[in-house]
Every structure is written in C-alpha cells, then in structure tokens.
Amino acid sequence: MHPDRIKGPGIQNTFSLQFPDPEIRTGRNGIQSYIFPSVSAETVRIEAVFDGSAFTSPKLYASYVFDLLTRGTKNRDAYTLNNLFDYYGTFISVDVQKDYASVVLFTLKKFLPEVLPLFREILLESTLPQDELGLLVTSNINKLKINKHKTDYMANRAFQALLFGEEHPYGRMAEAADHQAVKQEDLLHFYRETLLKRGVSFFISGNVGEREYKLLDDLFADTGLAPLQLPDKSAYQAPAQEKGKCSFEQVDGSVQHSIRIGKVAPLSGPLEMARTSVANILLGGYFGSRLMSNLREKHGFTYGVQSGWQTFRFTHIWRVQTEVGKDVAKKATEEIFNEIRLLQQETPSAEELQRVKSYLGGNLVRRFENVHSLATIQKPLILKGEAPDFYRNFSAEIYNVTAEQVRDVARSYWDTESLSAVSAGAE
C-alpha cells in the first residue's frame, strides 16, 4: 500500500518524550559516573567534567589548562598523542564554560582498552608545555584583536557585562593583558592544586557494559581523584544591576550594528520552562516568528533575528539579537519593542499557537536523536540537581500552554522597562 502523498499527516496535539534515566554508579574512589547505555551503538562517549568554572578559576586559567591538556604529558608530546588518537580513530575535545569544564573522549567500543589509558594520561599527567603555551597565547591575542573589529563579538561582551557587572564571573571579560599575564607555573599550580583536587564526574554514553565501566573504574581508582565539587549556589548570585540600562560599543569602520536586548531571568521547573519556551519561540525563536516576519520580511532590516534563553547553572539570560544596517538600527530596535508590547496586549491566535507548539515539540524530539545527545542534554540538569524526568515533564507541558499564559509571560518576563539594550557598531 502506497502512502497518500496528497494528504499530510495529522497534527499531534500532545506527546511526552520517553527515555530511560541514567544508571548512576559510584566508583571505588567515590567518583560518580552517569551511564546512558545503548547496545545498538558501536561507539562510546566519555565526558570527564571538572570544576573549571569562572567562580573557581582565575581569569583564563581553566581555558588555557584545558587547551593544553592534549599538547604534552610526562611520557608523550603532542605529536605522539595526536598520532595515537588518530590511529585508533578517536576524537578528543574540550569544552570550557562559565560553570564547568570538560574533556570528551569519543571512540569505538573495541578500542576502549587502548585509548582509556591515554585519556587518563592527558587528564592527570599533562605538563602544559611552555612552548605550546607561548603559541596559544599569541594565537589568542591575535584572535581577540580580530574579534574586536566584529560588532557581534563586541555586543555580546558588552551585553553580558551590562547584565552581571564587570566583576561578576559571568560578566568579566578578558583583555590582551590578561592573556599576556598567563604563566606556566600558575597554570600548573591551578591544574594540580585546584582543578584535580576538586574532583571529577563522568558522563558515559553508548555501548557500555560492566566490562567497560570496570576499565574506567580500575584506571581511576588509585589516582587520588575525588567526587566532583562545584561551587555552592550562593556563589552564583549576581549583584543587583540597574534595570533598563543601555550601552553603545564603538566599532570603527563597521557598516552594521549588532543589537542585543534582554535581561537576567531565573527560571525553574518544567512548567515555567514550557510556558516561557512557547512564548519565546512565538516571538523570535524560529524562522516563522513575529520578529522575523517584522524585521526581515516586512521591513528588510536584517537577514535574521532571533530571541532565546541562555542557560547558566542557576540562572538564565533572555535576549533578542540581530545585525542590521547602521542607518536602520534605531528603527529596528523600536520594532523589536513594538512586537514585545503587542504580545503583552493581545493573545496569539489558536493557529499560531499550535504551529509554535508543533515546532517546539518536533525540535525537542530532534535534539534527542541518539544516546549521546541524551547524555549531553541531561548533563546540565544533573549538575544543577534537577530531577531526571525534567524533559519528560517539559515535553508534556508544551501542549498545555494557553494563549493567555503566553501573554502573561510577555508581561511578567519582558516588561520593556526592565530590558537592557546594547548596540555595537560605528556611529
């Protein structure tokens, strides 16, 4: 029987994601591993998460340490390490964020006995070589010089500093002098005396059984590593900032302006996240959003405009961002505020709301496309202490959001008097 190509599939008005909770194992040294098994996968992904947060690390230390981990150990130089990982078809990556830092090992299951000892070596025995550090400092300073001529980069820096303050870890930004001040002995001290002593957690996904877990546990049992310690929630509280502030960043020679509008808005729980997510998608979270229809389709101010939530461990930023010609920057900003006010005054139609829910639900399913995606998405929730059923509840709540609740989100979260704005470009 052939499918009917004329009649489209029906719209599903409700669904709930279904996936297993991770298996939590505690090693002989107390280190917790969160395991997301899949017997159908041939690959294994292991992410070692450390407290390389901006709250623990002096400016830039974590970034440099993690960039240098794979560039030389007590027994092997960078060339030898890279050749070994290439030989086994293994991929190593690092991820340094404001809240934590991690190293990811991605390999075939059959090569795990050969590459796990190398993984242990780069995590625990890196020498952070001076010659590699010098090259990295020079490269980062050059990148910074180039980025300071980009309006989007300057707008993002200024926006974060405006919201949190320049002294808060989320708002503190590095300059060339900070890169030049980085010394190998300081990095080694931070690496050995702070980073490693604050412990680690493992997030493991793929074709993982008892044999694979035992390999990992045996390798790290006698290392002295402890369970991961992250800063207490009180350390994350940003100082009160004046709301509704505006800032302009001069970028000489630029023909466009980068605009950022938003605020700090802590969210919690799947119900609140579902309502704010639906409202955000409708306003500026996808190609068919109101902001896109206004700024791109109606006025031709920009190729793209989007709004969204940026998630930190215990708070969030909501922002609208776009790049426009400098001659229309003022008008574009006015239109963004007009669309926010319109959503505060009128409820969306049933058709528009259903379209947004379908988009959000479909996009959520796509994000959980495989077991490695599941581990990546669940990691921030686990580190925050959220229940593992967060996304199951969130997906179910999406289709319960009403038009009135969308309007209420716009009123309570996006009060135009509380929104701060940054524009970067040439006057």
Residues 422 and 348 sit within 8 Å (Cβ to Cβ): no
3 belongs to a structural domain: no
11 belongs to a structural domain: no
9 belongs to a structural domain: no
Residues 376 and 29 sit within 8 Å (Cβ to Cβ): no
- Domain final residue pick, 235, 262, 284: 235
Q: Where are the alpha helices (DSSP H) in 88-233?
A: 112-124, 130-147, 151-164, 176-180, 184-190, 210-220
pLDDT band (50, 70, 90) for residue 231: confident
Of residues 238 and 175, the one with the higher pLDDT is 175
Q: Please give the pLDDT value at position 292.
A: 97
Q: Please give the pLDDT value at position 23.
A: 94
- Domain final residue pick, 196, 213, 235: 235
Q: How far apart are CA 313 and CA 301, in angstroms?
A: 35
- pLDDT tens-digit readout, 163-209: 998 889 999 999 999 999 999 999 999 999 999 999 999 999 999 99
For 223-275, the DSSP string reads: S---B-----GGGGPPPP--TT-EEEEE-TT-SEEEEEEEEE----SHHHHHH
14 belongs to a structural domain: no
Question: Are 272 and 159 in a shared domain?
Answer: no
pLDDT band (50, 70, 90) for residue 10: low
Question: Residue 254 maps to which CATH number?
Answer: 3.30.830.10
Number of domains in the chain: 2
Question: Are 398 and 325 in a shared domain?
Answer: yes
Q: Where are the alpha helices (DSSP H) in 19-150?
A: 61-68, 78-87, 112-124, 130-147
Q: Please give the pLDDT value at position 140.
A: 97
Q: How far apart are CA 209 and CA 355, in angstroms?
A: 42
Question: Are 246 and 314 in a shared domain?
Answer: yes
pLDDT band (50, 70, 90) for residue 1: low
**Would you give the DSSP letter of residue 215?**
H
Question: What pTM, to 2 d.p., does this model score?
Answer: 0.91
188 belongs to a structural domain: yes
7 belongs to a structural domain: no
- Pairing mode, strands 246-250 and 256-264: unpaired
Question: Are 108 and 218 in a shared domain?
Answer: yes
CB within 8 A of 308, min separation 6: which ones? 280, 284, 285, 318, 319
Burial of 372 (0-12, 13-18, 19+ CB in 10 A): buried
Question: Are 304 and 210 in a shared domain?
Answer: no
- pLDDT tens-digit readout, 21-74: 899 999 999 999 999 998 888 999 999 999 998 899 888 999 999 999 999 999
Q: Please give the pLDDT value at position 110.
A: 95
Rounded mean pLDDT, 123-135: 96
Q: Please give the pLDDT value at position 123.
A: 96
- Domain final residue pick, 179, 205, 235: 235
Share of the chain above pLDDT 70, in %: 96
Residues 187 and 59 sit within 8 Å (Cβ to Cβ): no
- pLDDT tens-digit readout, 303-324: 999 999 998 988 899 999 999 9
Question: Are 221 and 278 in a shared domain?
Answer: no
Share of the chain above pLDDT 90, in %: 78
User: Which H helix or E strand runs over 26?
Assistant: strand 23-26
407 belongs to a structural domain: yes
- pLDDT tens-digit readout, 88-117: 999 999 999 999 999 999 999 999 999 999
Question: Are 248 and 394 in a shared domain?
Answer: yes
Question: Are 318 and 265 in a shared domain?
Answer: yes
β strands within 41-115, DSSP E: 43-50, 91-96, 101-108
Owning domain of residue 210: 23-235
Supply the mean pLDDT for the chain. 92
Q: Is the pLDDT of residue 11 over 70?
A: no
Q: Please give the pLDDT value at position 241.
A: 67
Question: Are 226 and 256 in a shared domain?
Answer: no
Question: Are 227 and 281 in a shared domain?
Answer: no
Half-sphere exposure (Cβ direction) of 392: Cα atoms closer than 13 Å: 8
Question: Are 278 and 216 in a shared domain?
Answer: no
6 belongs to a structural domain: no
Question: Are 361 and 222 in a shared domain?
Answer: no
